[in-house]
Amino acid sequence: MSTLNKGEYSGNILNLVEFEGIITSKTAYHDKVDQSYHYHANPHLSFIINGGHLERKNNQTAVKTSKDVLFYHSGEFHQTIPFTPDTKNLNLEIDSDFLRKHDISEELLEKAVLKNVRSKLFMLKLNSELNFNDGLSQTALHSLILDFVAEADVKDYQQILWCTKLEEFLNDNWNLNHSLEELSILLGVHPVTISKHFPKYIGCTISEYVRRIRITRSLDLLKSSNQSLTEIALFCGFSDQSHFLRTFKHLTGLNPKSFRNF
């Protein structure tokens, strides 16, 4: 077992950038890499851009693919074994000083990753902000992280049955449009109640939540299919390619073609 210090990963490290308390990088696995158990000195997130890993931690083994954003606590032993030669991750590492300064626990950070529908979008937006590399980049990165975590620090809605039902319905019918009145009839809840309280429990409005799901689903299609941008846009519930492009850019900082070649 080994300890990986700040900025160290088991893969080949690309494009490492460090700001105050924040380290970002890409890791590629084209060559043979260390596959032994290890842990990191700082908590970190890894978005699998291409390929996938066999992950072992807490006496469990799981397959992780490009559908996943992974979270590891500081000092958490784990093993990652890439199973394709084109596996590539986008990483975000946050040191303890940053977390302490902003009163963020590792548990809240993990909750943000696991519960937030925009985890992959957040990682891409963060990476895009780094490309500006100007005097505002550090402030922008800090704001993105704090906003991402803040969305997870919302009221527990597990006992609010209509909210749980609505979230499930939106995830099952993510590429269809539904009016607030239709949702009100479905849930048996007044439209004002839905509109007012959904952000309190989820962290964003219903329309923003649906847009995030649609763009997140489009990421898989862009990587795994040869469909045109127009076909993907229509399949994902957008009125046309232009609407899709604007929303994609807003949520990820990239255009779809750039992500396809990312």
Tokens 């807003």 — which residue? 250
In this predicted structure, what is the pLDDT of residue 158?
59
Angle at 15 between CA 13 and CA 21, to 5 degrees: 95
The β-bridge relationship of strands 79-82 and 52-57 is: antiparallel
Task: Supply 83's token pair.
Answer: 């199973």
- Compute how many other C-beta atoms are within 10 angstroms of the C-beta atom of residue 151: 18
Q: 69 has which bridge partners?
A: 47
Q: Name the CATH superfamily, with its identifier, for domain 2-152.
A: Jelly Rolls (2.60.120.10)
How far apart (Å, rounded) are the C-alpha atoms in residues 61 and 79?
A: 9
In this predicted structure, what is the pLDDT of residue 172?
95
Report the candidate in 126, 132, 117, 131 with the shortest Cα–Cα distance to residue 144.
126
Q: Provide the residue ranges of all domains of the chain, joining segments of one domain with +.
A: 2-152, 161-202, 208-260
Low-confidence ranges of the chain (pLDDT < 50): none
How far apart (Å, rounded) are the C-alpha atoms in residues 29 and 214?
A: 29
How far apart (Å, rounded) are the C-alpha atoms in residues 23 and 48?
A: 17
How far apart (Å, rounded) are the C-alpha atoms in residues 159 and 188?
A: 16
- Compute how many other C-beta atoms are within 10 angstroms of the C-beta atom of residue 196: 10
The CATH class, in words, for 208-260 is: mainly alpha
In this predicted structure, what is the pLDDT of residue 157?
63
> What is this structure's pTM?
0.86
